[in-house]
Amino acid sequence: MLNQALTSYNKVKPEDTSIGQLLLDMGRLTEHDVQHVLHVQQEEGLQFGEAAIKLGLITEADIRQVLSMQFDYPYRQAGQGSFSKELIAVYQPFSPQVEALRVLRSQLVVRWFTERASTLAVVGAQAGDGSTYIAANLAVVFSQLGEKTLLIDANLRKPRQRQIFNLQEKRGLSDILAGRADEKAIIHIETFMGLSVLGAGTIPPNPQELLSRPIFNELLAHTTDKYDVVIVDTSPAAESADFQAIVARAGGALLVSRKDHTKLTDLARLRDQIKGTGAQVVGAVLNDY
């Protein structure tokens, strides 16, 4: 499969060095390396990528990444960038786990985002279920689809999205709700053209009261006008009732459970609580990461 990709897309001539330029930009090749590769390519009748691999200058993983750049499917190899390794959609885009996320994405497009709304809350029954992990990676795969995506960290008790995405901006949702910041606190993630993240901000003494303020409604209404997909990470249901104010405003929730961790009784209770807010349970995810 990779050899076919090399044959189809990696032909580089002296007057057409797009692949070589991308590898230069990535820091994988130097100008001297490119000239060496072109020389071997012409001598042995190889494609550019094949010649570079033969010389030991790059790996097949480098070629896959270049192809992803050509086809507007950004990701990073291990060690690149400053994101958390939890972002498997960034660092392991061809893994079975990320393929499962793509399946989930497709189901959400059909069942929720296409005809109903653009905002979805991601809720776990208890700490350790992985709702933050699912929300972060789901936001990435939606941005890879070309959707303008916003991830909001509405866990105002133990937030983690700022750490996962290595955000330098300390202000976030709580600061906006308290009138101490505006939408400039939303950070565009340059690696992914369509992805932005709003961190939780300053951990407040009154998270539930903040999330119940009308300004939260106004913020969600405004962001849904600007973004195709808005994913809201919430605190675990077992730790507070904060999620109820969030799902009521989002209108829909994705339930997250962890294999051999989440109790069915807790999940059923969470489902009933969400329905009690008037929101819809859009789907459920069994997390085994």
CA-to-CA separations, 279 to 149, 184, 248, 264, 275, in angstroms, rounded: 21, 29, 5, 20, 5
Res. 40 pLDDT band, cuts 50 70 90: confident
CATH number at residue 192: 3.40.50.300
Which pLDDT score is estimated for 76? 57
Q: Answer yes or no: do 211 and 165 share one domain.
A: yes
CA-to-CA separations, 286 to 104, 175, 289, in angstroms, rounded: 11, 33, 9
Q: Answer yes or no: do 106 and 240 share one domain.
A: yes
Res. 46 pLDDT band, cuts 50 70 90: confident
Interaxial angle between packed helices 131-144 and 96-108, expressed in degrees from 0 to 180 and rounded to the nearest 10: 80
CA-to-CA separations, 254 to 24, 125, 251, in angstroms, rounded: 42, 11, 11
- Strand partners for 149: 195, 229
Give the start-end residues of each E strand in the chain.
119-124, 149-153, 187-188, 195-198, 229-233, 252-258, 280-287
Q: How many domains does the structure of the chain reveal?
A: 2
- Find the domain containing 152 and state its range: 88-287
Q: Answer yes or no: do 156 and 23 share one domain.
A: no
Residue 2 reports pLDDT greater than 60? no
Residue 77 reports pLDDT greater than 80? no
DSSP code at position 204: P
Q: Is residue 77 part of a domain?
A: no
Q: Is residue 82 part of a domain?
A: no
Domain boundary among 70, 98, 123: 70
Q: Answer yes or no: do 62 and 194 share one domain.
A: no
Tokens 């991601």 correspond to 122
Q: Answer yes or no: do 206 and 264 share one domain.
A: yes
The number of beta carbons lying within 10 Å of the beta carbon of residue 38 is 18
Q: Is residue 261 part of a domain?
A: yes
Average pLDDT, the chain: 85
Q: Answer yes or no: do 111 and 150 share one domain.
A: yes
Q: Is residue 80 part of a domain?
A: no
Residue 131 reports pLDDT greater than 90? yes
Q: Answer yes or no: do 64 and 113 share one domain.
A: no
Nearest to 98 by CA among 68, 127, 133: 133
| 151-169: burial string, b at 16+ Cβ within 10 Å, e else | bbbbbbeebbbbebbebeb
In angstroms, the CA 137 to CA 261 distance is 20
Domain boundary among 26, 41, 70: 70
3-19 tens-digit pLDDT: 433 333 343 333 334 67
The alpha carbon dihedral of 207, 148, 283, 117 has a sign of positive
Q: Is residue 268 part of a domain?
A: yes
Structure tokens given for 155: 């866990």
Q: Is residue 76 part of a domain?
A: no
Q: Answer yes or no: do 115 and 42 share one domain.
A: no
Res. 70 pLDDT band, cuts 50 70 90: low
Q: Answer yes or no: do 275 and 165 share one domain.
A: yes
Domain boundary among 70, 98, 128: 70
Res. 39 pLDDT band, cuts 50 70 90: confident
Q: Answer yes or no: do 207 and 66 share one domain.
A: no
204-254 tens-digit pLDDT: 999 999 999 999 999 999 999 899 999 999 999 999 999 999 999 999 999
Q: Answer yes or no: do 50 and 103 share one domain.
A: no
pTM: 0.77
In angstroms, the CA 177 to CA 205 distance is 13
* CB 288 within 8 Å of CB 156: no
Name the residue with higher pLDDT: 43 or 76. Answer: 43
In angstroms, the CA 280 to CA 274 distance is 7
* CB 211 within 8 Å of CB 201: no
Q: Answer yes or no: do 195 and 95 share one domain.
A: yes
Q: Is residue 131 part of a domain?
A: yes
Q: Is residue 135 part of a domain?
A: yes
